[in-house]
Every structure is written in C-alpha cells, then in structure tokens.
C-alpha cells in the first residue's frame, strides 16, 4: 500500500503549501504585489509558535492562535511601513522592496537569536493509525484538520462577511470601491492580516510536522507556495488551495519514483511551463472569485 | 591633537615591528637544529582557539597539554622536557598558515600539532615541506591532508592521529554484517557532502564484499526536510539495515520520520552524527537501535581509555570529547617518535613518525601506514534512550 502512504505524505505537504499560497494570492489579488516577505512571515510564525510551546508552556491551540495573532500584526505593519507609500509607484519598486523586507526579517531574526536551528517539541507522541497498510500519525491528521478548518473559515470570511465583500470589491476595482465608500487602506490591511495569520499557522504546523525550524526556513516553502499560487491562478483563492495540493502531490510522486534529487527542479519547471503556456493558471479566468 | 598622536603611535609600533622582524631574521638565519634551550623540545600547537570551530581546537589543546604534562612528570622524553608553544589560528585558513610560519621559523619548534579541521591543516602542507617540520593533525579527516589529490603523492611531512573518512564506512559494514547479522542494506546518502559520499562508497564496497546485498540506494541534499516519500520507498524494499552517512541536522529528521513510519530496522552513520542536537531533532525513543562510528568513546572500559578520561576530568572537570582524546594522542604519537629518533631534530622525528608501529594510545592501538594515515580501531556508539553508550570497538 505504498501509493496510499505516498498520497497521505503528499496531502500533508500540499496543505502546508496551500496555507502559505493563500496569503500570496490574496495580497496579489488586491494590490497586484508579489509579497516575497510572505515566506518569512511563515518563518516568524514557526518561531512564535515554538516559543509559545516551550518558553510560555502554552498548549498547541493557544500557541497556534498566538502565532496567528502576532504574524497578522506583523503583516499589517509590513504593509503600512514598506508597501503603502509605493502603491502608486512602478511595480518593480514594490517588488524590490518586498525582497528587501524579506532579507530584513531573515537577518534580524538571525541577529536576535542566532542562526542555529531549533527542534519543535513532540506534542502528540507516537500515536498512529494504520489504514490499509499505510501509517498516518495523529499529528498529520490534526494538521490536515486545521488546514481544512482554516481554509473553510477563509472562504466564509471572503464570501459572507462585510470585510470579505469589501475585499472582493477592492480587488475588482479599487477606484470604484472607494467611490462606494469602502476604505481601501483598511481593506488592504485586513488582507495582509488574514494572509499573514494563515502563514503563521502554516509555520506552526510545519514545525510540528518537520521538527526543525531555522531563520532561513521560509525561503524554499515561500517560493514553492508562490509556484502553487501561480499554478492555481494567482489571485484565486480556490486556485491557491488546489495549486498547493497539486504541487505537494507532484513533489511526493517525484520522490516516490526515486528522483528525490530533482524534486525542487520539477517544481520550478512547473512554474516555467505554467508561465509559458497557461499564464492565467488553473482557476485564473474566474475573475469574480478574485479577492 | 589626539588623531595626530595616534598617528605617531602607529609609526612607532610599525618601527618596532620592523626592528623585531629584523632581529628575528638575524637570530633565525643560521639555526639548523630546532631544539634550543637546555634539555627542552618545543612542540607547537596551531589550533582553533577562537572563531567558529573554537570548541574543536580548545578540546584538542586541552588534550595535548594534559599529555605533555604527564610526559614531563614522568621525566620527559629521553631526558628532554616538552615545552608547548600554543598559538591560535582563529579558525581561519590564512591565519593558520601565518601561525605555522611563526612556529616553524621563529619559535623553532620540532613538530607541530594541528589543526583541528582539514582546511586549516591543509594550509600547512607546503610550509611543512619547505621547513622540514613534521605536522600531526589530531582530527583532520580529509584524504588530501596527507596525500596530494592531483599527483597521488604523499605529503612528506604531514601526519594525523585520526582515521580517515572511508574507514568509517568499512567499519560500519563489518558491524552490520557481523554483530547485527544484516544481509540486506539500504544506503541513504547526503549527496551534497563529499564526506557522506565517501562513507557511503566505502560502506557499499565493504558490505557487498562481505556477502551482503545493497537493496536500495537513495539520496538527499543538505537542507532537505521532507524525507517521507523516499523513506516509503526504502520501507518497500524492507532492508535489514539502513546506512545514513550525513550530518546530524538532516539525519535527526530522517530517523524521526523513519521511526514514525514504522521503519524499525537499525540505522547507522559516521561521526557526523555526534551532536546533542541529534537527540533533540530525532527524539529519544526514536534513536533506539541506531549506531554510529566514532574515534573513541569515553565509556570504553579499556584501562588506557579510562586512565585518560580520569586524568582529563581531574584537570578540566568535564568528560573529554573525541577532539580532546585525539589531541592527547597526537602528543603521545610525537613523544614516541622523539624517543625512537633519540633526538629533537625535526627530520629524524619525521622518519620515526612514519615508522610508528603498534603504539598503544587512548583511542586505540595505532600504526602509521605508507600514506601517513593511522591504522587503528573505531568505536561503535549505540543510542539508548537518547544516551550515547559504548557498544564495541572494531579493529581494521
């Protein structure tokens, strides 16, 4: 039952990509900016969760909530300090700033606590479920559950709340939304808060699942999530979810076939192919879904 | 005003350095014999006492100083007392070369112990040839320290007290076949590290030659965190034994993820596993039934080892690590060579070092082979609930 095991491995990895990709896609949908600092917000989430669990002795759920709360504040701050003034500048200026913010977060973290990695505590012990010869750990199930809950919550916020409606309106046409009395700045702040909170949760989940966290850990998952967002059609929320899962499954299957060394290469080849032949991605055409 | 004064100070300092250098040249020019002073033999230490691998060099220096003290208390070598000239190379290649020049030409040492890392040791190769001063590295494991990579020629004045990387793979294969009775093995290698690739190649060779079968070969690169899909493949091949040469950061995650997937086969690696971080990353119980090869274990019941561990603890108050043990052995290796050479002449010490045979040291019985590498035993360390315990010693 190797294939079932590999499927479970792929879904776990994919749901982490999907959570990070959501933040990318929401921010892009609303301000047309690829926020490269997003991967580092994910890293900060992992560390906040770690200190919540070890230094403050909080439980798992309080730690994840703490990480989400703090990362959402950080997300809003990043937007306020670094991106807001550049909203009407050429896109390349904002993009360069995003890379600068990313490096700033990474090396400030190294400056404060050093570059050494940390090991996440083992919260769920070795409880395992055996399904048809595949082994699934209790924490893998919890991770999946949390990812699904967060994604459903996001869908609900976007479609059934006032702020969600505002986000969709600003994404559709910021000028028209302003004329309708929607505060564009506030809506953008909300978008950053939500996206960063998801990245923070993904960080804690990542730490639990892969144990090792370090200040530069956001780089590769951040890029992979960006690929996932592009794959699903950047700007589309369901696209980011599906894109993340597809990417996780593809990477797992590449390793499963014995090509683990080219796993990252395959992910980037997908990015290039999508950009060449299908720049709108899987769900990109569905303009009304954009946030 | 102040700036000007500083300027003048600098000039004075420069002048002083210049004059000192001149006098050093003057006294050094005609020096043929290396021992000066009465009944003294100078041994230089070129070690990493600060910088990013300071813990390696400090341990090795502690070990060497302890050995020198013991030798001197026992009456020295051939009546000569050992005098240590300790210098810090700041974990830096070019500083290591500077230190070596100073030790060889100004301090006129008879031999040098150092450095702890392969890179810093290699900075001394050319200098040792030019000045004809033997250099014994306690812990540089790279092949190219004693043998030139391009020409295959032995670096005449370079020696070491530790075994080289490929030997660990060979020992692991012997252990897997003999003690664990494994017939099939999987090899999971860090392909971004020459160290791991060297270990894997020698393991595969020794394991198949010993009658075992390699059923699965997989690889990863440094920085990977997701190993589950590859481990699923290894699980499918169902090997008796899994060899994972690599460094603790990835190995810790591999062991954790493997045990979580119910892969219960024994796993083994090399001295790259030797870090407290490994226990944190893998988890205590997951580490049960895993082993690694190391230069020595402080729990080895061998009386020679226990004597050293006790002396070290009395002097420094902590358990000696592998670097300390090898620094200690490097000093005894040189002392033995001086004794047999009957002189403190560096060239004669070099000749004697190359002929070292069956010398009993703390990390095992040691003979120097034609490539200036020691032939010696390796310790197998087993993890029991997160504690490193001595399992056995394997002779080549």
Query: Could you please report the per-residue DSSP string of A167-193?
Result: HHHHHH-HHHHHHTT--HHHHHHHHHH
Count of C-beta atoms within a 10 Å radius of residue B284:
14
Distances (CA, A) of A7 to A256, B46, B264: 10, 54, 22
Cβ <8 Å between A211 and B229: no
Quote the DSSP letter at residue B104: I
**Residue B120: its H or E element:** helix B118-122
pLDDT of B36 reads 46
pLDDT of A157 reads 92
pLDDT of A133 reads 67
**Taking Cα atoms as reference points, which of B142, B98, B134, B94 lies closest to residue B116?**
B142
- Site of tokens 């060449």: A276
Mark out chain A residues that contact chain B at CB-CB < 8 A: 2, 5-6, 9-10, 13, 117, 119, 122, 126, 128, 135, 137, 210-212, 217, 220, 251-253, 255-256, 258, 260-261
**What average pLDDT does this structure show over B145-168?**
90
Contact B136, B353 (CB under 8 A): yes
Strand, helix or coil for residue B264: coil
Please tell me which of the candidates A117, A126, A251 has its beta carbon nearest to residue B260: A126
**What average pLDDT does this structure show over B242-265?**
90
- Quick one: CATH architecture of A2-289? Orthogonal Bundle (1.10)
pLDDT of B35 reads 42
Mutate to test the interface with B, among A14, A212, A216, A248 (most CBs of B within 10 A): A212
pLDDT of B31 reads 36
Can you tell me the distance from the alpha carbon of B216 to that of B238, in angstroms, rounded to the nearest whole number?
A: 9
Q: Is pLDDT at B266 greater than 60 in this prediction?
A: yes
**What average pLDDT does this structure show over B271-295?**
88
Q: What is the pLDDT of residues B119-156, one digit of tens each?
A: 899 999 999 999 999 999 999 888 889 998 888 899 99
pLDDT of B34 reads 42
Count of C-beta atoms within a 10 Å radius of residue B11:
10
Q: How far does the CA of residue B187 sit from the closest CA of chain A (Å)?
A: 13
pLDDT of B95 reads 92
Chain A residues with CB-CB distance to B283 below 8 A? 122
Residues of chain A predicted below pLDDT 70? 1, 125-127, 131-133, 284-291
Distance between the two ends of chain B, CA-based, in angstroms? Answer: 70
Q: What is the pLDDT of residues B327-375, one digit of tens each?
A: 999 999 999 999 999 889 999 999 999 999 999 998 888 999 999 999 8
Chain B residues with CB-CB distance to A6 below 8 A? 229, 232
**What average pLDDT does this structure show over B52-56?**
82
Chain A residues with CB-CB distance to B261 below 8 A? 5, 135
Can you tell me the distance from the alpha carbon of B59 to that of A1, in angstroms, rounded to the nearest whole number?
A: 50
Contact B372, B352 (CB under 8 A): no
Q: Is pLDDT at B22 greater than 70 in this prediction?
A: no
Please tell me which of the candidates B220, B236, B262 has its beta carbon nearest to residue A135: B262
pLDDT class of B65 with cuts at 50, 70, 90? very high
Can you tell me the distance from the alpha carbon of A43 to that of A200, in angstroms, rounded to the nearest whole number?
A: 7
Cβ <8 Å between B252 and A137: no
Q: Which of residues B276 and B154 earns the better pLDDT score? A: B154
Cβ <8 Å between B218 and A260: yes
pLDDT of B260 reads 86
- The CA angle B382-B159-B303, to the nearest 5 degrees, is 40
Q: Give the DSSP letter string of B128-168.
A: HHHHT--EEESS---GGGTB-TTT--B-TTEEESS--HHHH
Q: Which of residues B34 and A281 earns the better pLDDT score? A: A281
Q: Which structural domains are found in chain B, ordered by start? A: 40-163+302-378 (3.40.50.2300), 166-294 (3.40.50.2300)
Where on the phi/psi map is residue A235: left (φ > 0), alpha (ψ -120 to 50), or beta?
left
ipTM surpasses 0.85: no
Q: Indicate the range of A130-134, B153-157, B176-180, B269-273 predicted with least confidence.
A: A130-134
pLDDT class of B30 with cuts at 50, 70, 90? very low
Q: How far is CA A59 from the centre of its chain?
A: 23
Chain B residues with CB-CB distance to A251 below 8 A? 226, 229
Cβ <8 Å between B261 and A135: yes
Interface contact B142, partner A, CB < 8 A: no
Contact A70, A78 (CB under 8 A): no
Cβ <8 Å between A2 and B233: yes
Can you tell me the distance from the alpha carbon of A265 to that of B37, in angstroms, rounded to the nearest whole number?
A: 65
Interface contact B236, partner A, CB < 8 A: yes
Mean pLDDT, chain B, rounded, equals 86
């Amino acid at each position: 039952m190797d294939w079932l095991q590999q499927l479970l491995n792929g879904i776990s990895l994919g749901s982490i990509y999907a959570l990070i990709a959501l933040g990318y896609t929401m921010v892009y949908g609303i301000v047309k900016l690829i926020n490269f600092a997003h991967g580092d917000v994910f890293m900060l989430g992992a560390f906040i969760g770690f200190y919540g669990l070890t230094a403050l002795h909080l439980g798992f759920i309080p730690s994840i909530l703490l990480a989400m709360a703090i990362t959402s504040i950080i997300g809003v701050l990043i937007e306020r300090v670094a991106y807001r003034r550049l909203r009407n500048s050429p896109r390349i200026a904002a993009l360069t700033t995003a890379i600068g913010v990313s490096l700033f977060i990474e090396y400030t973290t190294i400056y404060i606590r050093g570059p050494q990695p940390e090991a996440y505590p083992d919260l769920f012990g070795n409880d395992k479920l055996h399904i048809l010869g595949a082994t699934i750990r209790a924490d893998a199930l919890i991770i999946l559950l949390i990812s699904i809950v967060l994604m459903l919550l996001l869908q609900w916020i976007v479609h059934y709340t006032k702020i969600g409606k505002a986000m969709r309106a600003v994404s559709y046409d910021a000028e028209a939304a302003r004329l309708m009395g929607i505060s564009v700045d506030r809506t953008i702040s909300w978008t950053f808060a939500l996206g960063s909170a998801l990245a923070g949760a993904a960080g804690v989940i990542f730490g639990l699942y892969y144990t090792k966290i370090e200040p530069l850990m956001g780089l590769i998952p951040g890029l992979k999530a960006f690929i996932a967002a592009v794959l699903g059609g950047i700007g589309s929320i369901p696209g980011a979810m599906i894109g993340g899962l597809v990417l996780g499954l593809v990477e797992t299957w590449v390793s499963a076939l014995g090509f683990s060394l080219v796993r990252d290469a395959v992910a980037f080849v997908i990015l290039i192919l999508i950009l060449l032949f299908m720049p709108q991605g899987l769900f990109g055409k569905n303009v009304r879904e954009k946030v | 005003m102040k700036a000007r004064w500083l300027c003048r100070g600098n000039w004075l300092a420069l002048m002083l350095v210049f004059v000192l250098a001149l006098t050093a040249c003057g006294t050094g020019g005609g020096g043929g014999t290396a021992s000066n002073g009465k009944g003294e033999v100078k041994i230089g230490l070129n070690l990493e006492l600060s910088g990013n691998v300071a813990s390696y060099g400090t341990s090795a220096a502690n070990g060497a100083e302890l050995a020198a003290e013991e030798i001197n208390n026992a009456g020295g070598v051939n009546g000569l007392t050992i005098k240590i000239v300790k210098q810090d190379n700041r974990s830096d290649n070019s500083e290591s070369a500077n230190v070596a020049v100073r030790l060889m030409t100004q301090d006129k040492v008879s031999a040098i112990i150092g450095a702890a890392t392969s890179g810093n040791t290699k900075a001394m190769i050319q200098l040792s040839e030019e000045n004809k001063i033997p250099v014994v590295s306690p812990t540089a494991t790279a092949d190219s320290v004693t043998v030139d990579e391009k020409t295959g020629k032995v670096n005449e004045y370079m020696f070491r007290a530790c075994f080289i990387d490929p030997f660990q793979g060979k020992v692991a294969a012997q252990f897997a076949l003999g003690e664990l009775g494994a017939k099939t093995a999987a090899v999971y290698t860090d392909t971004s590290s020459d160290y791991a690739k060297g270990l894997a190649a020698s393991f595969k060779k020794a394991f198949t030659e010993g009658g075992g079968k390699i059923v699965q070969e997989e690889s990863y690169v440094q920085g990977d965190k997701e190993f589950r899909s590859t481990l699923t493949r290894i699980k499918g091949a169902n090997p008796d034994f899994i060899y994972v040469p690599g460094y603790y950061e990835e190995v810790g995650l591999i062991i954790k993820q493997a045990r979580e997937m119910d892969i219960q086969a024994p796993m083994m690696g090399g001295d790259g596993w030797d870090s407290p971080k490994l226990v944190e990353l893998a988890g205590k119980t997951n580490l049960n039934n895993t082993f690694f090869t190391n230069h020595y274990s402080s729990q080895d019941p061998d009386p020679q080892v226990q004597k050293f561990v006790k002396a070290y603890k009395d002097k420094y108050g902590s358990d000696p690590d592998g670097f300390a043990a090898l620094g200690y052995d490097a000093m005894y290796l040189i002392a033995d060579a001086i004794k047999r050479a009957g002189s403190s002449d560096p060239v004669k010490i070099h000749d004697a070092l190359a002929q070292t045979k069956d010398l009993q040291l703390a990390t095992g019985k040691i003979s120097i082979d034609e490539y200036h590498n020691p032939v010696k035993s390796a310790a197998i360390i087993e993890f029991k609930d997160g504690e490193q315990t001595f399992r056995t010693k394997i002779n080549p």
